[in-house]
Chain A
């Protein structure tokens, strides 16, 4: 059952439109700071663009995809019409209003503080208010997902919650809790200063709050991708999910350990004790577990599909896979990028290796590879898979779709691999230009140029993606049939602990208290750690 098509389409279209715009900014930034261009005639424009790119790509785009996909999952997998559709629209419009409100001061150069906020730098209050509205809009979605699940559970007592919805609600709870960190930073610390009610702010505390959000937000971005791995890919390539239980355990592990590990972003910060950094580092290692489990289950599921198609031999089955199917291609690319990105992530999470690359271009390369690469390529796959069911029109550009995915994969590799490399050479992040004529910087020039070329390949791919969606919107009408998610090889049995969240939410909150409680409480209770705000863009 997919009744709320307009709602889902609205989320997807808005998501991909803002994605396209932010992608243009990203490619421009890559170009402008590379040796292909002379120094920009106003560096402030670069930081303006960087703020817009980060805010849209980090807060608006993935949130909308998760929400739209979440509404579709709720209706399809529970086979019940969405409860609270009016509220869902209200959430959507809150995001529209919030995004516009945030982008106006950014475009005017009144909030060039980057999407990570960086107090004591303080920009226009409307920028922060806009971001808050986006988050509030997404919280409506969190509540709706919970409401819909409970209604279904009441109607189907004791039955196992379908895996897509189980994962979806886990993702929504994770987001609901992880957004609290940034929300506290914005509401209690930044907004009072931005409105001029206060003139000092604890920069150290705000970095701790932000780390609460900053890491788990990546897992929130990741949720639609993982849901697609488990519930779209096997069906799309003619196979089955190898293990439903393993999938549930993975999503629960994300819910519990994705959030209380954020301080690995503050390894180099002077305001957090080393003991807490070590605890967070160890828990970060733990979050690799659900990914390792997922890689195994999905590889096994894919192998099942190949063998059902007549594949043989220990590795020969790989040839039997439906490589002309865009979903197959997308998941393969996604796994390759996840592998490289994950390996890089292991370096970031261990304090000893992190010092070599902390805050260098390596980090930017890393999260573009993971988010822009492994995650977003599956957003494309989700859109391709859902589109005929949302529009009621056929999607026949298979060749173009494959080309688009290839371009995205190649573009992402060409962009991020040199990016990692210059990071190892010590190239700092977020500078509007570099002096490549200096002998100490010159060795980085070729790599940066390559990265910029990769950026243009990505731009071409992103625009092609939008063209494909537009063309599909105009294709002849065709009934796409019932939309369904993958079936499990062995149907799930209702294990209470893997069918509800209470225990896992309790653990998540408990770990937040143990891992974040003292550092936050100590800094929040001290008055001598507040420093004067530094306002940007107010007097150009």
Chain B
């Protein structure tokens, strides 16, 4: 078998192939790592080594300095899919006890009779974030703010775990009678409005976004208006303000009513 000889430095094919390949590599590397970095004035290379390092992509960590003072009245919560950490074994029980003080507005089973948001089955991350925002003032509400002020970190986590554990109201959308409004399923692309459903249920969910099916229309509408006017600002990096600002009053109504839709029987027995 002649195969083995090819891999020897004495074989002319070997010498040529390796030589040409190495030559091309060296030539392009010289171009990419030295000539081109120096040719880019905005790169401001400080020397040969810096040129090579920047072209190789040696990582620099972004400066944590803020050129403009961050607004202290914005949310401090960090939302990731890893949240919430696994709740403590007694979290739901503890949360249930704590939740007794919430029942007046949010209902004994987490389903409100007073146009306050339904909390039953709400994502834990969502509940935790809102409580934390009320507590540190990123979100303000005459009733909620004083309640949240006294909650500890553990309290907020347990409340979130408890409400997430309760069965949620399912979406109720008898197909013919009420087709989903465009804003919920298609949004308004040219205004930069993604479909409500891509984060809030109907299409998909985004971590940290609340489940809106069955929420009182008045509540959803009020929040959208508050986001649009900038009165509510606890959404991370203007995520919701971007959307609400560009929604028409009709679209706000349609979205609120569509999500609020519930079977007639359910509304009365609650």
Contacts and interface: CB of A to CB of B under 8 A. Distances in A.
Contact flag (A, B; Cβ within 8 A): yes
A428 to B, nearest CB: 11
A522 B58 contact: yes
Nearest to A539: B205
Nearest to B35: A278
A199 to B, nearest CB: 4
Interface residues of B, number: 50
A479 interface: no
Nearest to B182: A39
A316 interface: no
Given A275-B32, A275-B37, A158 B2 contact: yes
A322 interface: no
A274 B82 contact: no
B24 interface: yes
A315 B113 CA distance: 86
B203 A42 contact: yes
A537 interface: yes
Contacts of B14: 497, 503
A397 interface: no
A275 B56 contact: yes
Given A44-B204, A435-B190, A277 B13 contact: no
B66 interface: no
A433 B82 CA distance: 32
A511 B57 contact: no
A433 B189 contact: yes
A106 to B, nearest CB: 15
Interface string B1-19: 1111111000101100110
A42 B205 contact: no
B266 interface: no
A279 B29 contact: yes
Interface in A445-502: 494-497, 499-500, 502
B167 interface: no
Given A279-B28, A282-B24, A434-B189, A502 B3 contact: yes
A529 interface: yes
A277 B32 contact: yes
A443 interface: no
Interface residues of A, number: 61
Contacts of A283: 24, 28
A526 B59 CA distance: 9
Contacts of A518: 56-57
Interface string B46-68: 00000010111111010000000
Which of A43, A431, A434, A510 is packed against the most chain B CB atoms within 10 Å?
A43
A435 to B, nearest CB: 5
A431 B201 CA distance: 20
A283 B82 CA distance: 41
B182 A511 contact: no
Given A276-B56, A434-B189, A522-B57, A43 B198 contact: yes
Given A274-B36, A283-B28, A529-B59, A496 B6 contact: yes
Interface of A: 39-44, 153, 157-158, 199-200, 256, 271-279, 282-283, 286, 431, 433-435, 438, 440-441, 494-497, 499-500, 502-504, 506-507, 510-511, 514-515, 518-519, 522, 526, 528-529, 532-540
Interface of B: 1-7, 11, 13-14, 17-18, 21, 24-25, 28-29, 31-33, 36-37, 52, 54-59, 61, 80-82, 123, 180, 182, 185-186, 188-190, 195, 198, 201, 203-207, 211
28 contacts: A39-B186, A41-B185, A42-B203, A43-B185, A44-B204, A200-B82, A273-B54, A273-B58, A275-B29, A275-B52, A276-B56, A282-B24, A433-B186, A438-B190, A496-B2, A497-B13, A497-B14, A497-B17, A503-B17, A510-B21, A511-B25, A515-B25, A518-B56, A519-B56, A532-B81, A534-B206, A536-B204, A540-B203
